[in-house]
Structure 1
Amino acid sequence: MPAALTAAPDAELARLFQEGSSAALDVLMVRYRRFARSRSRSYFLVGGDADDLEQEALIGLYKAVRDYRPDHEVAFRPFAELCITRQLLSAIKTANRHKHQPLNTSVTIHGRDAGEDDSHALEDRLPGPAATDDPAERLLGDEQVAALAAAVDADLSELEVDVLGLYVAGRSYEEIAEHVGRHAKSVDNAVQRIKRKLGRSLERYELAAAG
């Protein structure tokens, strides 16, 4: 991992990630992983476990890096903490609505694979824009998931980039399949490959940071 990146401020890393540097995301993931894990342990998820909640916390962190804008005059850390907390609360709210079913469809960028069934629509678990005067809270609804291709792991194929962008944006497997011209099973396979690749990438950089 380049020394210039490991020493860079959070806001600069977020900017680099938005310009296409997957390594910048890796640095922020390592930097905030402990906080994400600690925050996730403060909550209880019906039908889930600590790993599920940690995955949700990492999704919140990913959204923070993706959406951060320094011109909104909010420092990155409180914005990231807000995104992580809001993602956890969103997941818990959804799990409570579906507590007769296990939470097995998380969008995971690290850890074990989720199930094949996407019946728990992701859009139900994604936080929407908030009506508030808090500038950090307003940021959550300011940006759309429109250009993820420049913000994902370089190992992803063109199909995987398209699938990830649509999946994180809240599309169902059926909607993604129609958009990319593939069967829903092909979309599911692509999602599983994406999660494995991003998980390996994070583990690789965690080991590098520890060394």
Structure 2
Amino acid sequence: MTLEKTVLYNVSNHACTVGGILVSADFKTIDENLIDFIQLEDEEIVELVHKGESEALDYLIHKYRNFVRAKARSYFLIGADKEDIVQEGMIGLYKAIRDFKEDKLSSFKAFAELCITRQIITAIKTATRQKHIPLNSYVSLDKPIYDEESDRTLMDVISGAKVMDPEELIINQEEFDHIEVKMSELLSDLERKVLALYLDGQSYQEISEELNRHVKSIDNALQRVKRKLERYLEVREFSL
């Protein structure tokens, strides 16, 4: 199955179009045909998507929609509609579904988290460059209001309560920067280059041509990146 490259998120009718498939944003209206996927692991569902199961794609979009919206809600860009950021997150989710390859040492969720967050950050940086706006014009709504020791954030003031659903926990800007620094220490020079080009939207073939490497070498590098990210996130969660 060849998935379309465009992911459209329509907030007015709370629906998402992925690969030409219209998906309701209300999980309560999920088709009965999708119930069977609940018993499967995400990695198994992604494999079904790759085999052409459109309903599997529908299910994953349903499952991760709040996760994407939670991440998008964490950022604000002056002069831009907040739903533009949501759409970028959906594009990141699409890339994760499209390109994930099952690996016993990594999970789809960790890979999706990386793709979604990086897509949002990249989009914001691109927008600020185009509009000649300083990068500090966008802020994380999870940043403490008063000082670094405060637990009260701008998001708390806006919503009146913290998000408690584990599926909606997000990486704010400071945490993301820390992960980027840590990953730069863990990754080899080739892995860093491959990851940067991949997250910039290039295909395996394009990356292999730019780096003058075989496509299999590019795939292996990304698999190593996923394993290292998975291990790091597991250690980070254990230490929190």
Instruction: Please tell me the TM-score bracket, short chain as reference.
Output: 0.3 to 0.5
| Structure with the larger strand share | 2
**TM superposition score normalised by structure 1:** 0.48
Give 1 or 2 for the bigger CA radius of gyration: 2
Q: Name which structure has the greater RCO, CA cutoff 8 Å, separation 6+.
A: 1
